[in-house]
Structure formats: C-alpha cells, structure tokens
C-alpha cells in the first residue's frame, strides 16, 4: 500500500482541502473536480484519494480503486450529459506524455467533437 498522502503533492492538498477545487463528485476513495485550465467544454479530473504517482502504479497496487476511478469517470460523463455524445479519457503517464502532476488522475474531456485518432 502506498503512502496515503504526499505532503508535497498538489492533488493530495486538494483531497485534504488545503487547496480549493470545484468538486463535482466524491466517494469515500475518489474525488472528481474541474481542471483549472479546461481544454474542452467538460474537463474534469478524477483521482484516487490515496497518493499513487500515476495510473500504472495505481493499477498495480489496487485494482478495486482503479476500477472506482474509471467508474467515477463514467459518472462524470453521465452528470455532464456527454455519455451519449462521447468523451475521451486520458491518463498521461510520465513526463514525455505531458504528465505534470504526479498523482494518478484521469482527464474526462467532452462536449465537443474531437478529431479521430489520438493527437
Ligand atoms: P497532467 O498534465 O496529465 O499531469 O494534468 C494535470 C492537470 O492538472 C492539468 O490539466 C492542469 O490544468 C490541472 N491542474 C493543475 N493545477 C490544478 C488545480 N489547482 N486545480 C485543478 N486542476 C489543476
Ligand atoms: Zn498526491
């Protein structure tokens, strides 16, 4: 089991309330909040409350929590009325992928038509 909190981690501070965020969904083990710099009409981040540096370490450590994060991402899409039109889930993993916050998170992006393909 990883340390539950990293005192230097931005998203751990959002979990504890030390840094404010616009929370849209919360469960005992997950939090979903709006990205501060939205890149689509809906741009929400879903995180486990426990600190894992990325999706791979989260998945390796806790399958149930990984599933809860994905399930909450689907819940966000339903709440935001983009479940039918479609949405994109992105886990940036590592610096070369553009990961800047090293606390596992999935981006839920939707509300606009994306190009086919990945980038
Ligand atoms: P990534 O590049 O995958 O690590 O994504 C990190 C995301 O966190 C970026 O989309 C940022 O805009 C977002 N972000 C950074 N600081 C905050 C904050 N205080 N509240 C909400 N989102 C944030
Ligand atoms: Zn953290």
Kindly state the DSSP code that residue 97 receives in the 8-state scheme.
G
- The answer to whether residue 1 sits within a structural domain is no
Mean pLDDT score across all residues of the chain: 96
Rounded to whole angstroms, the Cα distance separating 93 from 103 reads: 10
- pLDDT score at 60: 98
38 is in which domain, residue-wise?
Answer: 10-110
Per-residue pLDDT of the chain (119 residues; tens, 9 = 90+): 556 899 999 999 999 999 999 999 999 999 999 999 999 999 999 999 999 999 999 999 999 999 999 999 999 999 999 999 999 999 999 999 999 999 999 999 999 999 998 87
105 catalytic? Reply is yes
Please report, for the domain that includes residue 14, its CATH number: 3.30.428.10
- The answer to whether residue 117 sits within a structural domain is no
- The answer to whether residue 14 sits within a structural domain is yes
- The answer to whether residue 92 sits within a structural domain is yes
- pLDDT score at 16: 97
CA of 95 relative to ligand 1 center, distance in Å: 14
Contact 46, 105 (CB under 8 A): yes
- Ligand 1 contacts (CB < 6 A) are 10, 19, 21, 35-37, 45, 92, 98-101
- The answer to whether residue 116 sits within a structural domain is no
Contact 47, 104 (CB under 8 A): yes
Q: What is the total count of domains within the chain?
A: 1
- The answer to whether residue 35 sits within a structural domain is yes
């Amino acid at each position: 089991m990883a340390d539950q909190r990293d005192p230097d981690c931005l998203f751990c501070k959002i979990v504890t309330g030390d840094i404010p965020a616009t929370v849209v969904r919360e469960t005992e083990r997950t939090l979903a909040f709006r990205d501060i710099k939205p890149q689509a009409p809906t741009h929400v981040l879903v995180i486990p409350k426990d600190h894992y540096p990325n999706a791979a370490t989260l998945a390796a450590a806790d399958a149930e929590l990984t599933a809860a994060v994905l399930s909450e991402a689907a819940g966000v899409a339903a709440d935001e009325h983009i479940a039918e039109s479609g949405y994109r889930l992105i886990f940036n993993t590592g610096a070369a992928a553009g990961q800047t916050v090293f606390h596992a998170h999935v981006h839920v992006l939707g509300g606009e038509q994306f190009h086919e393909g990945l980038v």
